[in-house]
């Protein structure tokens, strides 16, 4: 993975096919859940923006996809996210298992609601 990415497309293109496909699907899922969302590179990773402010970040790794931070969520969503929690504000979705894109959609909506 290189540094100094100029766009989310450039960031995603820097990964092997399996990771790239998962990143593209996370991107599509979040944009579908948050109409009007924008995107940029911040902290050298893809950042979804909403109303001009950073909403959430996502990144690719060799064995997982990560989403940061975790917004305040209700008890049901919190329980659903528990298996993916890694530290205080990070969710890790292993590439060796099916990624729960429906859960990522719920999470993206929770980010908007938390604003």
20 has a pLDDT exceeding 50: yes
**Are the beta carbons of 62 and 32 closer than 8 angstroms?**
no
Provide mean pLDDT across the span 50-58. Answer: 94
- Give the span between the Cα atoms of 101 and 111, in whole angstroms: 15
**Are the beta carbons of 27 and 103 closer than 8 angstroms?**
no
Instruction: Based on DSSP, count helices (H) and strands (E) in the chain, helices before strands.
Output: 4, 5
pLDDT tens per residue across span 41-51:
999 999 999 99
Name the band, by pLDDT with cuts 50, 70 and 90, for residue 88: confident
Give me the pLDDT at residue 101, please. Answer: 97
Give me the pLDDT at residue 115, please. Answer: 78
Give me the pLDDT at residue 25, please. Answer: 97
- Give the span between the Cα atoms of 18 and 59, in whole angstroms: 13
Name the band, by pLDDT with cuts 50, 70 and 90, for residue 3: low
pLDDT tens per residue across span 64-79:
999 999 988 999 999 9
């Amino acid at each position: 993975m290189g540094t100094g990415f100029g766009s989310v497309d450039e960031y995603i293109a820097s990964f092997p096919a399996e990771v790239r496909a998962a990143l593209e699907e996370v991107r599509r899922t979040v944009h579908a859940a948050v109409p009007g969302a924008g995107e940029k590179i911040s902290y050298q990773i893809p950042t979804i923006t909403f109303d001009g402010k950073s909403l959430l970040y996502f990144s690719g790794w060799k064995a997982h996809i990560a989403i940061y931070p975790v917004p305040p969520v209700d008890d049901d969503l919190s329980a659903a996210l528990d298996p993916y929690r890694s530290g205080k504000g990070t969710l890790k979705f292993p590439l060796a298992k099916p990624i729960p894109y429906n859960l990522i959609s719920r999470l993206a909506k929770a980010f908007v609601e938390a604003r």
